[in-house]
Amino acid sequence: MDIKLSTCFIAVDDHDKAIAFYRDVLGLEVRNDVGFEGMRWVTVGSPEQPDVNIVLEPPAADPSTSPADKQALAELMAKGLLRGVLFATEDCDATFERISASGAEVLQEPMDQPYGVRDCAFRDPAGNLLRFTQPLGKPGK
């Protein structure tokens, strides 16, 4: 069976701030920017992984979302409880320095984990958890 990740979704409440972060801070490329019925979807991805996409979507992208559910999603997003993404990096410490220099909210400075990686964590402008991992024993550590 040949199964590979193609696309994942991250809810954002301000696409322009999200683009500035994912493109300018993380170095991802913007692949698509689509508006439809008052909503916007922006696709970004690593130039090193042309077949893997991250779609930055509105938190209530389903048109059948009730007003109560939209409110609940907005509250969860404000708390940073919606989605999280793990990125691989060759140098966790250098990645941490670059991202923290941008003013991104630091959740965890680089540290070695008992499960074999060195990682750090941030929140994106919408509050989503982003972790950056490097296998222990790789250059950069």
Domain ranges of the chain: 7-135
CA dihedral 22, 25, 31, 32 (to 10 degrees): 50
This prediction has a pTM of: 0.87
Q: Can you give the pLDDT of all 141 residues of the chain as single tens digits? A: 888 889 999 999 899 999 999 999 999 999 999 998 888 999 999 999 999 999 999 887 777 888 898 888 888 877 777 768 899 999 999 999 999 999 999 999 999 999 999 999 999 999 899 999 999 986 555
The topology under which CATH files domain 7-135 is 2,3-Dihydroxybiphenyl 1,2-Dioxygenase; domain 1 (3.10.180)
